[in-house]
Structure 1
Amino acid sequence: MTDKVFINELTVFASIGAYDWEHTIKQRLIFNIEMEWDFSQAVAEDNVEHCLNYADVSEKILDFVEKTPFKLVETVAYKVADLLQNEFGIKKLRIELHKPKAVAQANSVGVIITRE
């Protein structure tokens, strides 16, 4: 069995871009995240203490990305994956990171990373 916690369309405003002018503005990034988590103990005890707290995860991502300047979405995705694995002990995860309107003809561009 594979249990997962997900967060869809977590929106953060970041200092991101390969060009200097991009760091004079905040740009929107959107995360879709799946994190593998064993629910068995939480279910057996019906106890939130054994759940992965998606509010804490979201807050940690927002705080980190808003305070750190980046050049590449790839770097953001890798650093957030490292953060989640180190802070919450998540072994397997998938991060889909969108940078809306980065290309005029596209709704968004971005990256997908998987850690196992």
Structure 2
Amino acid sequence: MTSKIIIEDLKIYAYHGALPEETLIGTYYLLNVEVHADLWKAVGTDDLNDTINYAEINDIIHNEMKVPSKLMEHVAGRILKNIKMKFPQVSFIKIRITKTNPPMTGEMHGVSVEIENQF
């Protein structure tokens, strides 16, 4: 059985970007993270030890967003790797990071990078 845990539109202020001013000024990012694992045991036990603790995933996301990077791909990769290390039972991870105010011409909701990996 595969179950999903999805963190939706987590809003974090961070300092990522290839341009020097992006690492000084910062902007809001929206993060969506989806993890798959067999969580059937938790259905019956009602025990946090039998599932994926999404509060710990949230901590991983916040910790990695604190580390300034030039590329959102790099940040997403670090988040993915740390989730898999913390929760080896995860069989799939998808991460989308959206920069809400990219330094580009035109009006938009943002620019996103999405990576996923199946284990």
Give the alignment's TM-score, normalised by structure 1: 0.90
Structure 1: gaps spanning 5 or more residues: none
1:60 is aligned to 2:52: no
1:109 is aligned to 2:99: no
Superposed structure 1 runs of 4+ greater than 4 Å apart:
none
Q: CA deviation at 1:37?
A: 1.8
Q: CA deviation at 1:48?
A: 1.9
Q: CA deviation at 1:100?
A: 0.7
Alignment RMSD = 1.4
Residues 53-74 of structure 1, C-alpha deviation per residue, up to 9 Å, x if partnerless? 11111012102211x1100111
> What percentage of residue pairs aligned between the two structures are identical?
28
Residue 18 of structure 2 aligns to a residue in which SS? coil
- Equivalent AA in structure 1 for residue 81 of structure 2: D
- Equivalent AA in structure 1 for residue 107 of structure 2: Q
Residues 32-65 of structure 1, C-alpha deviation per residue, up to 9 Å, x if partnerless? 1110021111112222221111111101210221
May I ask how many residue pairs the two structures share in their alignment?
Answer: 115
Residue 65 of structure 2 aligns to a residue in which SS? helix
Partner of 2:7: 7
Query: 1:47 & 1:64 partners in 2: Cα distance?
Result: 28
Query: 1:78 & 1:26 partners in 2: Cα distance?
Result: 20
- Equivalent AA in structure 1 for residue 3 of structure 2: D
Partner of 2:74: 75
- Equivalent AA in structure 2 for residue 31 of structure 1: L
Give the alignment's TM-score, normalised by structure 2: 0.88
